[in-house]
Amino acid sequence: MAASGAAHDTSDDEPVDVCGVGRFDKRQIDGWSPRERREFEARAQAMDARKGAAMSQLSAWLAVGTDSQRVAARFVMGDREGAAMVAARSSDPAAYRLGMLGCGLATEQTAPSCRGLTVDGWMRLDSEDATPWLRRVGEAMARQDEVAATEAVEQVLQRRRRSPSRPLMLAVHQAHANVQDQEGLGMAMVEIVGREAAMPDAASGVLGRYCRAEAVKDEPRRVVCERVARWQFEHADSLIDGMVAAGIAERVGLPPEQRPYTRKQLGEAMQRLADQAGWEFGPDCNSLRNMALIPAKLVQQNELEAALALIPKP
């Protein structure tokens, strides 16, 4: 989040504090002299430099950590080929998965080492994780192989563990406390959160597609999808996962007592979470310091838990 970008989001009547730059509204900006504009740009560039320094410090700390953190270090600096190389040599399934997620944004030219990262390789490192089997479901669905998709779903349902959402944030957690400039780190975290959100996760939502409305009209598929709904409720840790669970539960008619939450409740929770983010996170220094704490908050409470905690208990 560049300071200069934040300034242009102000309204005519409401001044906004932009950390390290100043407090002003749009009408003031429109009336600036050339000298005032140069001073503003200089302050904005100084803040961007602080963000870059925080990114470099964070990457340096991560680079001497676990394999998962070493993969994260390359992602923080935008090096997907380096991330894939570390992941391909690792025996840590979390590092391997993180490398695979980053490869979803790469091409063979920008990250040739991604060719060495496969679902089979991931399964060999962790045979008890359901997440690579979710990838198998997605692959079967893509080629319209319903038999293979059902076989992969059965493998998912046999597993009691699933890789957590937000793997990049979790890898960053133990190193981010070593960066002293909290405002600079907050700006860096805005960028890192955006990078993680952009990572295409082939496992996200795949069970919802398998248990689509048309498919569950078939009785054997509906019975399987009842089990899928209960499994998804048990393992969801993100709002997307929660929405998938609630949607499948509706489609198969899962009894209310077997649903820990509904899509309506999730919708309310999402709105409250967005409202909270609106006043907690902005361009001012205090908000940036809050942004710096995001990895620690995610370790304490996942996204779904945090959202559901905001709505009144029934």
Q: What is the DSSP string of 101-144?
A: HHHTT--TTT-GGGGG--HHHHHHH-TTBSHHHHHHHHHHHHTT
3-state secondary structure of 314: coil
Cβ neighbors of 236 (< 8 A, separation 6 or more) are 242, 244, 245, 304
Neighbours of 256 (CB within 10 A): 7
Record the pTM: 0.85
Backbone torsions φ then ψ of 297, nearest 5 degrees: -65, -35
- Residues 105-129 pLDDT 10s: 777 778 899 999 999 999 999 999 9
Q: Please, which residues have CB within 8 angstroms of residue 90's CB and are 6 or more apart in sequence?
A: 67, 68, 71, 96, 99
Predicted confidence (pLDDT) per residue in 56-81, tens digit: 999 999 999 999 999 999 998 889 99
Tell me the pLDDT of the chain averaged across its residues: 88
- The answer to whether 290 touches 10, Cβ cutoff 8 Å, is no
* pLDDT tens per residue across span 78-101: 899 999 999 999 999 999 999 999
Question: In whole angstroms, what is the distance from residue 278 CA to residue 281 CA?
Answer: 6
Write out pLDDT tens, residues 165-211: 889 988 998 788 889 999 999 999 988 988 888 887 878 889 999 99
Determine the Cα–Cα distance for residues 73 and 231; give it in Å rounded to an integer: 33
Q: What is the pLDDT of residue 34?
A: 85
Residue whose structure tokens are 């902005």: 282
